[in-house]
Structure 1
Amino acid sequence: MTAPPDARLPDGFVVALDPRVRRRDAGATLLGGSPLRLLRLAPRARELLAGDGLTVADPTTAALAGRLLDSGLAHPRLVPVTPAGVTVVVPVKDRTAGLDRLLTAVRADPQTAAVPVVVVDDGSADPGAVARVCAAHRADVVRHEVARGPSAARNAGLRTAGTTAVAFLDSDCVPRPGWLGVLAAHLADPRLAVVAPRITALAGDGSGWVGGYEDAVSALDMGRHPAPVAPLSGVSYVPSAALLVRRAALGGGFDETMRVAEDVDLVWRLAGAGWRVRYEPGAQVDHQHPRATGEWLRRRAFYGTGAALLAQRHGSAVAPVVMSPWSAAAWACVLLGGRPGLVAGAGVLGVATRTLARRLARPGESAPVGLAATLVVRGTWAGGRTLARSVTRHHWPLVLPLLAVSGRARRLTLLAALADGVGAWWPHRRDVDLPRFVAARRLEDLAYGAGLWRGALRARDARALLPARPPAG
């Protein structure tokens, strides 16, 4: 992995505050980002950020814009460009119909009609069929006689491309018109290594029992908000189904020993080296989601096995529960039950609020108790949500024996399962009915958890099952 260049954002680069960011203290303090953070602005920075946007014009504004980007408080406001110096790389094995559909979409888009395309045939049973599809769409072919896996296929395409940037597209994807111009605009940031589009469901792909759920909350869909990508943040990874990458940043590329979670590993290595990775939902690529229940559950379990591999390489970045000690203590008290537990939990949060208020206090000013209380409550609520999810997803094999002997455990688990399901369903209530959503979510979590434990047992490494503290910010 190469180090990023020591270069600032260029003049004319524009960033805009995330609409969810809250200004406090007459604009002197910004609250937002993921994980939630508080950024106090110096008088000069406050003057420069009088509005909701900032245009880079000198080293000072470049430094401020970079800080806002990296904290998740602001995002680039970029005008789509005509892609130049980009090669599209498509790894494929046997999926010739999907490949033809993908290449048809690439050539039909005026932005990508003439871009070079490299298809890496990773051991297809009928290489002639792949070659014919590629010839029909003016795509070059790199052939692996024996399948070496998607990481090796992408790396082969990365080495073959002679351009500054490479756009990876899986053969079960169909990019929407204009996708590459939106992503390519991000390359104006010299420290950007990877930018990913939003992955959405392919229209007309059928429904199936899990169709509505998968369309609403696919594991490949990172949502409608742009974000920096980093471990333990709101968008902690982006899938390799569709990526635009700067070749100079990737070095050797994907880890070819990994058959799962190689995209997460790549992103985290880049972030650790100091590169920026961004998620850009303004560009969209459709994906053919699995529709058969068995295939869907097997894929979720397969994803779960990757956590142990990530833990071996990145430690607590893969933690299933992220919670501060204060929040953990408060929830432990509440779970003890009854009025004493509630009173003890409230007491813990009160002490945490007072401690944080003292830390936030400026010299000569009173402690901001209200702000501290807001941060403590929001952090504790977020921690509780991850804890509830872990009961039905990551740690259900530990919970299962308790259900057989404890009525209280059964009640709490049922409450966690329903609360998590309803809370996740509410933003998508117009797209899928509640019973189907909750049932699918619980099945997905059981499958992922089974894969998680299988991977941990196989690796003889429990770190993928352990909680972690929130990152400092």
Structure 2
Amino acid sequence: MSLPIGAVVRLERHVRVLDGGAALLGGHPMRLLRLAPRARPLVTDRTVLVRDAATAALADRLVDAGLADPVVGTLPDRDDPWTLVVPVRDRPGPLDRLLASVHGASEVIVVDDASADPAAVAAVARRHGARLVALPENLGPAGARNAGLAEVATPVVVFCDSDIVLDPDTVPLLLRHLADPRVAVVAPRIAGLGASPSWLGRYEDTRSSLDLGEHPAQVRPRSPVAWVTTACVVARREALTDGFDASLRVGEDVDLGWRLTAAGHRVRYEPAAVARHEHRERPADWFLRKAVYGSGAQGLADRHPAHIAPAVLAPWSAAFLALVAVQRRWSLAAAGVVLVGSGLRIGRRLAPLPQAPAVGLRLAATGGVSALAQGMALLLRHWWPAAVVACLVSRRARRAVLVAAVVDVALEYRRDPAHLDPLRFALARRLDDLAYGAGVWWSALRARSTAALRPAIVRTTRR
């Protein structure tokens, strides 16, 4: 039994309940789960209450399939001893602010990753009663965390970067997920420190690369929440074994999560717990950091080639996207035929559900929208250097890029304008994409590999 008695799991918001509760459709990858007659009454109001072995088994299966998430408020409080590990290089001011926000740790370990002014870091650590581990040479975030991890004696370790501030309930809420023995790592939502006076700061408050949204999720490759940052995480010490890949200067958190998932552990994202982050707001620093994030793609492609694709498409959705990109009347008509044909085929696979044809068409429409969104992201973010070259010689390429840019900004600005006027929001959005894409291409050219740039065509299998 993974989840404890009294825990509640709630169906993920996109899961469809079909055939009067006899089947559930959703998850990542999408699957149809048919419930046995005795299991159907256990799902009430889109939730399952764990009260015995049968409900525990159903809840566990739903969580494993990505169809449901534990409700953190129903998980028991935990008093696990935990050690805070803080990797830092200089930045004594933010370090002082972080350590002042820490409550309940059994021990605090500050790892000085070869600071230019080690005395300032040592003074802050000493003032807060933290143990200092000073490294003679700079190892980077992964190596510094590993050095701290080697000193941890408690069953739980909490990693925090120096530019984080903990809310009082951040760690206690995250610890609740350890009631599930399969959970190895759980991460909070990363929010800004507060209202920012700068336009880039206001953009980051709602579009930070570290903010993974307001919905809980099981973290796994090729899902809406495919990774979590270790800017702040709670982890089981024993599950981490040797810790991070110290050869990675960026993307080490993604690599760790994917390795844990491959080993059968669960990695969870819990937005009810919030950690505050000091976003970069100076334009040069902000742009460089976005590019650094992109530069991690090639290292991940080397280690996890099946998970790093910038777009993941089924054969039919790839054909649909290609036909739309041709921008001819005949190609648009053909794209419509592909969409409808795929919907009918999906419907046949869902038979004998009475709603199968309609559900199949809706799923195909959703897949078509997803393909278009991924195509826009390729043009504007991952492939923008190639798109620029194409625009120099092709009117259709220019039209595609212009439409993609306008639609992207319109949809994102409508969702949350970040307290910016449309012009500055559009500028920040495009600079964000340019920086990240530049990092991806720089790493690809340096490695002489296109692995991080190639979309994946994935065939679905019957379940």
> Fold match, TM over 0.5?
yes
Partner of 2:433: 445
Tell me whether 1:361 sits opposite 2:357 in the alignment: no
Tell me whether 1:203 sits opposite 2:191 in the alignment: no
1:91 pairs with 84, 87, 90, which one?
Answer: 87
Tell me whether 1:143 sits opposite 2:137 in the alignment: no
Tell me whether 1:165 sits opposite 2:167 in the alignment: no
Answer whether contact 1:209 1:293 (CA < 8 A) is retained.
no
Hey, what's the Cα distance between the residues in 2 that align with 1:453 and 1:45?
A: 50
Tell me whether 1:309 sits opposite 2:299 in the alignment: yes
Tell me whether 1:175 sits opposite 2:166 in the alignment: yes
Answer whether contact 2:94 2:162 (CA < 8 A) is retained.
yes
SS state of the match for residue 423, structure 1? helix
* Correspondence list, 1:364-379, <5 A: 368-379=356-367
Answer whether contact 1:83 1:180 (CA < 8 A) is retained.
no
Answer whether contact 1:232 1:470 (CA < 8 A) is retained.
no
The alignment covers a number of residue pairs equal to 459
Distance 1:222 1:190, change over 3 A: same
SS state of the match for residue 393, structure 1? helix
SS state of the match for residue 39, structure 2? helix
Hey, what's the Cα distance between the residues in 2 that align with 1:195 and 1:470?
A: 29
Partner of 1:155: 146
CA deviation vs aligned residue, 1:435-468 (integer Å, no higher than 9, x gap): 2111111111111111101101111221111111
CA deviation vs aligned residue, 1:47-72 (integer Å, no higher than 9, x gap): 21133322223333222112211233
Q: Which moved more, 1:336-345 or 1:445-454?
A: 336-345
Partner of 1:187: 178
Partner of 1:326: 316
Answer whether contact 1:212 1:432 (CA < 8 A) is retained.
yes
Hey, what's the Cα distance between the residues in 1 that align with 2:348 and 2:44?
A: 28
Partner of 2:47: 53
Tell me whether 1:274 sits opposite 2:268 in the alignment: no
Distance 1:223 1:12, change over 3 A: same
Answer whether contact 1:155 1:253 (CA < 8 A) is retained.
yes
Hey, what's the Cα distance between the residues in 2 that align with 1:471 and 1:449?
A: 27
Tell me whether 1:216 sits opposite 2:188 in the alignment: no
SS state of the match for residue 101, structure 1? helix
Hey, what's the Cα distance between the residues in 1 that align with 2:49 and 2:95?
A: 41
Answer whether contact 1:389 1:417 (CA < 8 A) is retained.
no
Hey, what's the Cα distance between the residues in 2 that align with 1:114 and 1:18?
A: 33
CA deviation vs aligned residue, 1:90-131 (integer Å, no higher than 9, x gap): 11111111110000111xxxxx24531111111122222222
Deviation at 1:43, TM superposition (A): 1.6
Q: Gapped runs of 5+ residues in structure 1? A: 1-6, 107-111
Deviation at 1:312, TM superposition (A): 0.7
SS state of the match for residue 138, structure 1? coil
Answer whether contact 2:184 2:236 (CA < 8 A) is retained.
yes
SS state of the match for residue 133, structure 2? strand
Deviation at 1:471, TM superposition (A): 7.8
Code of the residue aligned with 1:439 in structure 2: it is: L
RMSD: 1.8
* Correspondence list, 1:117-128, <5 A: 117-128=108-119
Answer whether contact 2:199 2:420 (CA < 8 A) is retained.
no
SS state of the match for residue 181, structure 1? helix
Answer whether contact 2:170 2:273 (CA < 8 A) is retained.
yes
SS state of the match for residue 304, structure 2? helix
Tell me whether 1:30 sits opposite 2:20 in the alignment: no
SS state of the match for residue 196, structure 1? strand
Deviation at 1:402, TM superposition (A): 1.5
> Identity over aligned residues, as a percent?
48
Hey, what's the Cα distance between the residues in 1 that align with 2:45 and 2:458?
A: 30
CA deviation vs aligned residue, 1:225-259 (integer Å, no higher than 9, x gap): 11110111000111110000111111111000000
Distance 1:72 1:431, change over 3 A: farther
CA deviation vs aligned residue, 1:334-353 (integer Å, no higher than 9, x gap): 22223312221111122212
Answer whether contact 1:358 1:367 (CA < 8 A) is retained.
no
Deviation at 1:81, TM superposition (A): 2.3
Hey, what's the Cα distance between the residues in 1 that align with 2:241 and 2:324?
A: 49
Hey, what's the Cα distance between the residues in 1 that align with 2:161 and 2:459?
A: 33
Partner of 2:220: 230
Deviation at 1:35, TM superposition (A): 4.7
Partner of 2:97: 101
* Correspondence list, 1:399-414, <5 A: 399-414=387-402
Hey, what's the Cα distance between the residues in 1 that align with 2:327 and 2:293?
A: 35
Q: Gapped runs of 5+ residues in structure 2? A: none
**TM-score, structure 1 as length reference:** 0.93
Code of the residue aligned with 2:340 in structure 1: it is: G
**TM-score, structure 2 as length reference:** 0.95
Deviation at 1:13, TM superposition (A): 2.9
Deviation at 1:367, TM superposition (A): 7.7
Hey, what's the Cα distance between the residues in 1 that align with 2:354 and 2:400?
A: 41
Hey, what's the Cα distance between the residues in 2 that align with 1:220 and 1:250?
A: 22
Hey, what's the Cα distance between the residues in 1 that align with 2:459 and 2:176?
A: 30
